[in-house]
């Protein structure tokens, strides 16, 4: 299930990323291609008209003027840079004159000119001798002007074929396309690796929550199984002695009540956990005297500590004011005190402290005893977790107390921290924001 969910994340991320890369690289290639094509068209179409100044008598002759104009025209449209050449042809496509800035064999000029003349109404690329050529066929127009500069006529003399070497331009486009493809594939590989890493990180809390939920259901079912078994067994005992009086059956009834009470406590603790985890159920914070709250809780648990032979030292700074849920904080203090008493060694000690630390109020409680194993420390706040498995159920608890306490403190924007040295002592601590006594008065 989690693998499929991770793969969906990866597929969605790669699909979006691939689309963005294709659009971006496609735009870059399109702009480059358009610019190169525009440059080619501009160079092919930049063929000026030729001019020839003649006297009126020369203009009447006609023939010499035409020949001079033709020569003048081809000189004016002479090769305009490396990689180009001009071929002048007559109306039948026969070569009249060649002016070239490239070195090609004579037959290559003739072959290229023939192909261009036969395909003069199309825009094709001619490949010859490992080169690629674009061409443009245009008539040679000569403007004849008199000696006084007045135009006399516009005559057409043959055709000019301009060839442009586009091998490097097309190579540049091909190289750009190859580069974009390689960069795109490399980018997708890197993004895939990064996405896989973050997808696994994103799935991990969900997987852990799912595993905890399954463990929680299994543990809750196990905890409910014991009292249910007690109730069923004693119901069977009552059913087997139907003729007996209630007075004689009180033993079985008390066992049933014990099991029902145990189930009620478990359900009550689960409801507290559910409320503590519900973000929508956050109470409005109120100001309360943290010092008095801790003092009352310590006094209420004093008898249990004395009964176990524990010495309790209290260091409570007076009149420390905090804001939050006083009932919830009182429950947290009682849970931590009860936990300290349960796990302190006989004739041991408990040290309780409440003091202001800057802008916060720090609470801590330390008890002597066997402590908590290092490998168990990260799990002490897990629901139904018991570090000492052999003591499970002996004290009537379910291992939910510390989970409830942690949930309540988290609702107050803090955390309960635990430190333990095996066979020495264990300390639980948390802090709340301090509030000035004058606020709200």
Within a domain: 300: yes
* Length of the chain counted residue by residue: 441
* pLDDT tier for residue 73 given thresholds of 50, 70 and 90: very low
Q: Domain with 54 in it: what CATH number?
A: 3.30.450
Q: How many domains does the chain fold into? A: 2
Domain boundary among 165, 185, 207: 165
Within a domain: 149: yes
Please tell me whether residues 290 and 427 are part of one structural domain: yes
CA distance 37 to 134: 11
Give the lowest-confidence range in 70-79, 231-240, 412-421: 70-79
End-to-end CA separation in angstroms for the chain: 56
CA distance 93 to 96: 9
pLDDT of residue 155: 64
Give the lowest-confidence range in 11-20, 80-89, 309-318, 423-432: 80-89
Q: Which residue has better confidence, 360 or 256?
A: 360
Residue for token pair 């007045």: 150
Quote the domain boundaries for residue 412: 284-433
Within a domain: 310: yes
Beta bridge partners of 355: 362
Domain boundary among 131, 165, 199: 165
Please tell me whether residues 161 and 292 are part of one structural domain: no
The yes-or-no verdict on residue 62 having pLDDT over 60 is no
What would the 3-class secondary structure string for the chain be?
A: CHHHHHHHHHHHHHHHHHHHHHHHHHHHHHHHHHHHHHHHHHHHHCCCCEEEECCHHHHHHCHHHHHHHHHHHHHHCCCCCCCEEEEEECCCCCEEEEEECCCCCHHHHHHHHHHHHHCCCCCCEEEECCEEEEEEEEEEEEEEECCCCCEEEEEEEEEEEEEEECHHHHHHHHHHHHHHHHHHHHHHHHHHHHHHHHHHHHHHHHHHHHHHHHHHHHHHHHHHHHHHHHHHHHHHHHHHCCCCCCCCCHHHHHHHHHHHHHHHHHHHHHHHHHHHHCHHHCCCCEEEEHHHHHHHHHHHCHHHHHHCCCEEEEEECCCCEEEECHHHHHHHHHHHHHHHHHHCCCCCEEEEEEEEECCEEEEEEEEECCCCCHHHHHHCCCCCCCCCHHHCCCCCCCCCHHHHHHHHHHHCCCCCEEEEECCCEEEEEEEEEECCCCCCC
pLDDT of residue 354: 95
* CB within 8 Å of 359: residues ≥ 6 apart: 433, 434
Please tell me whether residues 300 and 160 are part of one structural domain: no
Residue for token pair 């931590």: 336
Please tell me whether residues 157 and 291 are part of one structural domain: no
The yes-or-no verdict on residue 307 having pLDDT over 80 is yes
Within a domain: 37: no
Q: Domain with 400 in it: what CATH number?
A: 3.30.565.10
**Mean pLDDT estimate for the chain:** 80
The yes-or-no verdict on residue 321 having pLDDT over 70 is yes
Domain boundary among 139, 165, 191: 165
Within a domain: 83: yes
Within a domain: 107: yes
pLDDT of residue 75: 42
Within a domain: 438: no
Within a domain: 2: no
CA distance 65 to 278: 102
């Amino acid at each position: 299930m989690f693998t499929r969910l991770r793969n969906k994340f990866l597929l969605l991320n790669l699909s979006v990323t691939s689309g963005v890369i294709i659009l971006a690289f496609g735009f870059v290639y399109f702009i480059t291609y358009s610019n190169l094509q525009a440059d080619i068209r501009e160079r092919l179409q930049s063929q000026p008209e030729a001019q020839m100044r003649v006297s009126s008598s020369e203009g009447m002759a006609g023939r010499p003027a035409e020949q001079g104009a033709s020569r003048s025209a081809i000189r004016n449209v002479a090769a305009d840079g490396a990689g180009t050449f001009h071929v002048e042809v007559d109306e039948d496509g026969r070569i009249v004159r060649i002016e070239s800035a490239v070195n090609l064999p004579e037959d290559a000029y003739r072959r290229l000119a023939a192909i261009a003349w036969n395909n003069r109404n199309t825009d094709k690329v001619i490949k010859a001798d490992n080169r690629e050529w674009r061409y443009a066929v245009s008539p040679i127009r000569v403007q004849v002007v008199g000696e006084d500069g007045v135009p006399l006529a516009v005559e057409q003399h043959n055709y000019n074929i301009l060839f442009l070497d586009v091998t490097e331009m097309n190579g540049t486009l091909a190289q750009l396309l190859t580069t974009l493809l390689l960069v795109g594939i490399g980018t997708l590989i890197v993004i895939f690796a990064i996405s896989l890493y973050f997808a696994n990180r994103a799935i991990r809390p969900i997987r852990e929550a799912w595993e905890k939920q399954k463990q929680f259901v299994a543990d809750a079912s196990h905890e409910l199984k014991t009292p249910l078994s007690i109730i069923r067994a004693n119901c069977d005992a009552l059913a087997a002695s139907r003729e007996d009086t209630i007075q004689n059956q009180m033993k079985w009834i008390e066992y049933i009540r014990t099991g029902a009470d145990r189930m009620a406590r478990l359900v009550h603790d689960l409801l507290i956990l559910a409320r503590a985890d519900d973000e929508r159920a956050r109470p409005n914070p109120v100001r309360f005297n943290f010092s008095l709250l801790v003092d009352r809780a310590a006094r209420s648990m004093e008898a249990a500590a004395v009964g176990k032979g524990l010495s309790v030292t209290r260091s409570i700074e007076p009149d420390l004011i905090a804001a939050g849920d006083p009932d919830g904080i009182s429950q947290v203090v009682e849970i931590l005190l009860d936990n300290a008493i349960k796990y302190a060694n006989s004739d041991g000690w408990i040290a309780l402290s409440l003091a202001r630390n800057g802008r916060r109020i720090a609470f801590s409680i330390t008890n002597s005893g066997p402590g908590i194993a290092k490998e168990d420390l990260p799990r002490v706040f897990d629901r139904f977790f018991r570090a000492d498995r052999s003591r499970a159920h002996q004290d009537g608890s379910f291992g939910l107390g510390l989970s409830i306490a942690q949930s309540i403190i988290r609702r107050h924007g803090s955390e309960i921290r635990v430190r333990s040295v095996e066979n020495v002592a264990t300390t639980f601590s948390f802090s709340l924001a301090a509030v000035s006594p004058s606020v709200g008065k």
